[in-house]
Amino acid sequence: MRPGAVTVGAVHGAALLLSLAGFASTLWYGIDEPGNALAFGALIVLGELARWGAAPGVGAPSVRAAPGGREPAPLAAAGALAYALLGASAGTATTHGVLQIVAVVVAAGLAGIVPHIARGRGPGPDHVARRVLTVGFAALCFQPLYNSGAVVEHLGQGPAYALFLVLLLVLTALCDAVLAALVLRARTGFPYGPLLRDELSALLGIGSAVGATGTVMALGVAAAGLWALPVLAVPLLLTQVSFRRYAAVRTVNRQTIASLARATEIAGCTPPGHARRVAALSAAVGRELGLSGAELAVLEHAALMHDIGQLSLVDPVEGGATALLPTEEQRRIALLGGEVVRRTGVPEAVAVVVERQADPYREQPLPARIVRTVNAYDDLAGGEGAGAALDALERLRLGTARDHHPDVVECLARVLARGGAAGVTSVATG
C-alpha cells in the first residue's frame, strides 16, 4: 500500500472514530441543552444547503483540488466553529461536551449534504474528515478549560476572554491548514511546503471570514442568546454571495483562456489536446518544483497559450511540433505568441513566459523553463506509447546543456513515473 493511501486512511479513520464516539456518547447520555443543539444544527444544515461547488479549473484535477478549492460551505463551517467555542448562552454556562459537539456537527452536516449528494455534487470524504477533526480540535481545546471554570476565573468575560477565543481560532485554522496540506500531499505527491503555504495564504480570504464569524457568534450567543445567530449569519451569507460572483468571474476568465488555447487546434496548427496536455503536465511539474498560488496560475495559463503564436504564421508547422524547429524560428513564434497574449488582457507575466519559452534556459524564468521542456516532451512523445515517452525523455536529457534545465527534466521524469504519461493525458483531456 502506498504511504499516501496510509495517510489518507489514517485521517479518515480518525474522523470516523471521533464521529462514532460522539454518536455513542450522545445516545448513551442524551443531549444536553437540546435547544442550543437544535439551533446550531439548523444553522449548519442551512449552511450546507447553501454550499457552492468548486469552480472548474484549467489544469489537472489534483491541481484544482490543491489549495484554491476552499471552504465551499462557509456558513456551516462558522456555525460548527461557534458551537465548539460556545461557553455560555444568554449568560448561563453551557454543559454540552466535546463529543456532543462532534455528534451535532456530523449529524447536521450529513443532513445538509444529502441533496448535493443526490445531484452528484456532494463534498468529498477528505473535506468531511477535515471538518470533523478541526471541530473536534477546537472543542477539545476550549470546552474542558471552560467547563472547569479556569477560563472565567483567570480571564473573566471581557477582552481577555475574546483574545483567548481568537488564539483558539488561530490554532484551529492552523490545524485545518496542516490537515488539508497533508491530505493533498498524500494524494498528489507534491511537496508539502508549497501546499501548506497555499493553505495558509487562503486563510486570509474566506477562511478569515469564517473564523471571525464563528467567534463572534459564540460571543453573541453568550451575551444575547440564540437570537444572535440569525443576525450574525447574514453578513457571512452576503460574503458568500460575493465570493460566488468572484468565483464565477474567474471561471469565465479560465474558460476564455481555454477557448483561446483551442484556437490553434481548430486552425490545424497543433494536434488535438496538445495545449491541455502541456498545461496539465506543466502544472504537475510546477508543483513538484515548489510553485504555488499566483505562480502556478501564471504557469497554467502560459502553458495553455504557449503555441498561440502559430496563428500568425502563413505556413503552419507540420504537426505543430515547434520543439523540432530551429532555435531562431522557435524564438520568432514565441515572440509572436507573446504579442498575441498581451492583447487578450491576461497578466503581463503570462505573456513574458510565452515569449521567453524559446530562450536558453539559463536566461529563462522558471515557468518558461517548465513550459519549454513539457512542450518539447509532448511534441517528441507524440502520444505513441511508453517507448516514445522514454525516447522523448532521453532526448530532453541530452539537451540539458542548453535547451532544458536538468532539474526540470528530472522533475518531469518523476511526475511521469508517478502518474504515467497515459495518466497525465487522461487528466488533461478529462
Domain boundary among 187, 220, 250: 250
Q: What is the pLDDT of residue 59?
A: 34
The answer to whether residues 213 and 343 belong to one domain is no
The answer to whether residues 157 and 285 belong to one domain is no
- Specify the pTM: 0.76
Burial 226-241 (b: 16+ CB within 10 A, else e): bebbeebbeebeebbe
The answer to whether residues 244 and 279 belong to one domain is no
If you count them, how many residues does the chain have?
A: 430
The answer to whether residues 224 and 271 belong to one domain is no
Look-up: residue for cell 471561471?
251
Q: Tell me: the pLDDT tens digits for 375-412?
A: 889 888 875 556 778 888 888 888 887 788 899 999 99
Domain boundary among 192, 217, 250: 250
Quick count: other Cβ atoms within 10 Å of Cβ 378? 28
Q: Could you tell me the end-to-end alpha-carbon distance of the chain, in angstroms, rounded to an integer?
A: 26
262 within a domain of the structure (yes/no)? no
Helix or strand holding residue 92 (H, E):
strand 92-93
* CATH number for 320: 1.10.3210.10
The answer to whether residues 18 and 92 belong to one domain is yes
Q: What is the pLDDT of residue 64?
A: 36
Reduced 3-state DSSP string for 144-179: HHHHCCHHHHHHCCCHHHHHHHHHHHHHHHHHHHHH
Give dist(CA 143, CA 87) in Å, integer.
Answer: 7
323 within a domain of the structure (yes/no)? yes
The answer to whether residues 221 and 78 belong to one domain is yes
Q: Tell me: the pLDDT tens digits for 118-141?
A: 888 878 889 899 999 999 999 999
Phi-psi region of 345 (alpha: psi -120 to 50; beta: other; left: phi over 0): left
The answer to whether residues 75 and 216 belong to one domain is yes
Q: What is the pLDDT of residue 137?
A: 95
Q: What is the pLDDT of residue 108?
A: 95
Q: What is the pLDDT of residue 107?
A: 95
The answer to whether residues 406 and 300 belong to one domain is yes
The answer to whether residues 246 and 271 belong to one domain is no
The answer to whether residues 215 and 314 belong to one domain is no
The residue range of the domain holding 378 is 267-429
Q: What is the average pLDDT score of the chain?
A: 82
Task: Using 70 as the pLDDT threshold, list the residues of the chain that sit under it.
Answer: 1-4, 52-71, 312-324, 383-386, 420-430
Q: What is the pLDDT of residue 13?
A: 94
The answer to whether residues 233 and 289 belong to one domain is no
